[in-house]
């Protein structure tokens, strides 16, 4: 058995990081993850619990796949919980494929940084156990190294997703401002058109009255003669 642990700080609020965690895949940094399906999702006492099935490529040597009869594609079961009140998100995963020979239990915890509330602390832990195949220590070391490499790629992927989220927010804000400007401009044009049409109608009416022979303005006829 081999245990791997790591900590990383994201310079982004917890709400932003947890949104990015949900939208992490697909991304160009982790091409090994090729599919995700939501098996179950529910909310209890304000806590969101989700069960997902993830399809990924482990990249084990061919002789290991031949020995175990395994496929290059492996499936991982992930159970997660998001507690927005206490601002804690946990993701626990365990491989379904090849579990008879290789067991990988991984846990990720996202929480606000203890000294900076505008940052998020990620704690990762993975327990790797290989059994029933030759070169046990070698395989445990190789799988652990793969986890460490993928963890670094995963952090870059999170930054990539956060950048995408910020771009979406900027575009949405710009679109809203543009729509408001267009609405204001349209309303102003309508008011200008209405004012011009009203003025034109009044001018036309005045000219029509003046063209009538013997026309006397109602206002002038009401003035008493001295």
Cα separation values, 39 from 42, 49, 71, 78, 136, Å: 11, 11, 22, 10, 33
CA distance 71 to 195: 75
- Of 8-12, 66-70, 120-124, the poorest mean pLDDT is in 66-70
DSSP string, the chain: -EEEEEEEEESS-HHHHHHHHHT--S-TT-TTEEEEEEEEEEEETTEEEEEEEEEEE----HHHHHHHT--SEEEEEEEEEEETTTTEEEEEEEE-TTTTTEEEEEEEEEEE-SS-TTSEEEEEEEEEEE-SSSSHHHHHHHHHHHHHHHHHHHHHHHHHHHHHHHHHHHHHHHHHHHHHHHHHHHHHHHHHHHHHHHHHHHHHHHHHHHTSTT---HHHHTSPP-
Give buried/exposed letters for 174-184 (b at 16+ CB in 10 A, else e). Answer: eeeeeeeeeee
What was the pLDDT predicted at 18? 96
Q: pTM (2 decimals)?
A: 0.73
Model confidence at 61, in pLDDT bands (50, 70, 90)?
Answer: low
Answer for the pair 88, 111: CB distance below 8 angstroms, yes or no. yes
Give all domains of the chain, ordered by start, each with its CATH number.
Answer: 2-172 (3.30.530.20)
What was the pLDDT predicted at 56? 86
Cα 192 to chain centroid distance, Å, stands at 43
What was the pLDDT predicted at 163? 92
Cα 133 to chain centroid distance, Å, stands at 41
Answer for the pair 103, 94: CB distance below 8 angstroms, yes or no. yes
Instruction: Using the predicted structure, report yes or no on whether residue 218 has a pLDDT greater than 80.
Output: no
CA distance 97 to 106: 15
pLDDT tens for 118-169 read 999 999 999 999 988 788 888 899 889 988 988 999 999 999 999 999 888 7
Asked if the peptide bond before residue 26 counts as cis, ω within 30 degrees of 0, the response is yes
Cα 104 to chain centroid distance, Å, stands at 27
């Amino acid at each position: 058995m081999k245990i791997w642990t790591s900590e990383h700080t994201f310079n982004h609020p917890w709400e932003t990081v947890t949104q990015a965690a949900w939208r992490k895949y697909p991304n160009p940094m982790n091409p090994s993850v090729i599919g995700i399906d939501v098996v179950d999702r529910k909310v209890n006492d304000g806590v969101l619990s989700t069960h997902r099935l993830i399809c990924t490529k482990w990249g084990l040597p061919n002789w290991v796949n031949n020995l175990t009869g395994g496929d290059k594609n492996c499936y991982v079961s992930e159970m997660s919980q998001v507690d927005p009140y206490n601002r804690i998100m946990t993701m626990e995963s365990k491989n379904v494929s090849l579990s008879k020979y290789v067991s990988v239990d991984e846990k990720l915890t996202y929480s606000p940084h203890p000294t900076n509330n505008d940052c998020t602390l990620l704690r990762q832990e993975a327990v790797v156990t290989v059994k029933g195949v030759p070169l046990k220590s070698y395989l445990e070391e190789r799988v652990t190294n793969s986890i460490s490499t993928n963890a670094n790629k995963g952090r870059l992927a999170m930054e990539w997703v956060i950048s995408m989220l910020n771009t979406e927010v900027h575009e949405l804000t710009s679109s809203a401002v543009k729509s408001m400007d267009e609405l204001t401009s349209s309303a102003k044009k309508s008011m200008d058109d209405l004012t011009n049409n009203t003025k034109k109608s009044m001018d036309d009416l005045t000219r029509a009255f003046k063209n009538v022979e013997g026309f006397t303005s109602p206002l002038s006829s009401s003035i008493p003669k001295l």
